[in-house]
Amino acid sequence: MKEIILAKFGEIVLKGLNRSSFEDALERNVRRRLKELGAFEYWKAQSTLYIRPVDDGIDVDEVMDRVRKIFGIVKLARAVEVDKSDWQSIEKAAVEYLKEQLTAAKSFKVVSKRADKSFPMGSPEICTELGGYICEKFPHIQVDLHEPEIIVNIEIREEAYIHAGAEDGAGGIPVGTSGRAMLLLSGGIDSPVAGYMMAKRGVIISAVHFESPPYTSERAKLKVEKLAAVMARYCGAINFHCVNFSAIQEAIRDNMPQELFTIIMRRLMMEIAQRICEKEKISCLVTGESLGQVASQTMAAMVCTDNACRMPVFRPLIGMDKSEIVAVSRRIETFDISIEPFEDCCTVFTPKHPKTRPVLEDVVKAQEKFDFEPMIEEAVNSCRSYMINAK
């Protein structure tokens, strides 16, 4: 039997005259994620991307796992493809393909979708005929139209496609349809979720990470690279920029008021990130900030941070509770990595009493008392950049 993946479009169907560009972007993303698994045939029809394995031995479970993480797909089904001109072949394929589920179930129903209106049987007749055949082959099973244990789906399209139901996809719109952004990626819980949420809206994510050796360890950096590799399952390959921030943090410690350490550190991070963006032709920044979560994420602190920015700063988690952020991080499998006990640079020289309501004028005056420019230039010029692929 020939198995096939039916990937159903979501929000793409609402895109009007631009729809084809979204569909093409989605297909490119799917091809990229599946390329190393073997050869596939692809085509689009009726708001569905068809993915047919060509090579023998392709792990269809792995194909499903990868496709369900690709933004732009709202539902996907693993199905068997049958010549729709031969009804007896359809019946036989249905009971053979779903034999294990039908044997274990006590009740079922058939759901038919007849996209090809030239097919000689209507949907009610399809359900009746196939349901009767299943009852004949599995006498123990009963028809239950309200709460069946298994739903046998048959879709009459270019051919007949039979499956036991579609599962949820990642939703959103395809990565690559909404521009590029630079994510400030720490080793915490929040920033990977922020990157995921922006990618879900079609944004290509690059990432900048600030390390502070010897205050932070090599294992802390490896932890962040692991986070980026998990994010890449959803976001696509991530252009990762690693910045040595030690000298700047030492200068802040030695020359700035302690209570303003965190906010000045954030302002300098933003400046460095922006300069990398300008080199890379990236138009905005993304952070994992949630309003009021910590001292640097109060409204007053964000005003001081944004004052240092020349480009938009997106904060997709701004109104979320920590429990909501944690729930997403668990679902996308970044949580367990984020809680590994390797501290990032944000914990270095943390003041005992950071100002939660900093005054912008005071922050700017304090920062101007020391010339950070040479250190900023050095940090940008010595930045190490490399691609991180999905793992």
Scanning the chain, the segments in alpha helix (DSSP H) are 19-34, 60-67, 87-97, 99-104, 123-137, 190-200, 218-235, 246-255, 261-280, 299-306, 322-331, 335-338, 360-368, 373-381
According to CATH, what is the number of the domain 2-168? 3.30.2130.30
Query: Domain segments of the chain: what residues?
Result: 2-168, 180-388
The pLDDT assigned to 356 comes to 81
The pLDDT assigned to 269 comes to 96
Beta bridge partners of 314: 286
The pLDDT assigned to 342 comes to 78
pLDDT (tens, 9 = 90+) of the chain, 391 residues, equals 789 999 999 999 999 899 999 999 999 999 999 999 999 999 999 899 999 999 888 999 999 999 999 999 999 999 999 999 999 999 999 999 999 999 999 999 999 999 999 999 999 999 999 999 999 999 999 999 999 999 999 999 999 999 999 999 999 999 999 999 999 999 899 999 999 999 999 999 999 999 999 988 889 999 999 999 999 999 999 999 999 999 999 999 999 999 999 999 999 999 999 999 999 999 999 999 999 888 788 999 999 999 999 999 999 999 999 999 999 999 999 999 999 987 777 776 777 777 788 999 999 999 999 999 999 999 999 999 999 999 8
The pLDDT assigned to 383 comes to 97
The CATH label, of 3.40.50.740, 3.30.70.270, 3.40.50.620, 3.30.70.360, for the domain at 180-388 is 3.40.50.620
Cα–Cα distance, 116 to 229 (Å, whole number): 42
Q: If you write DSSP's letter for every residue of 271-287 in order, what string do you get?
A: HHHHHHHHHHT---EE-
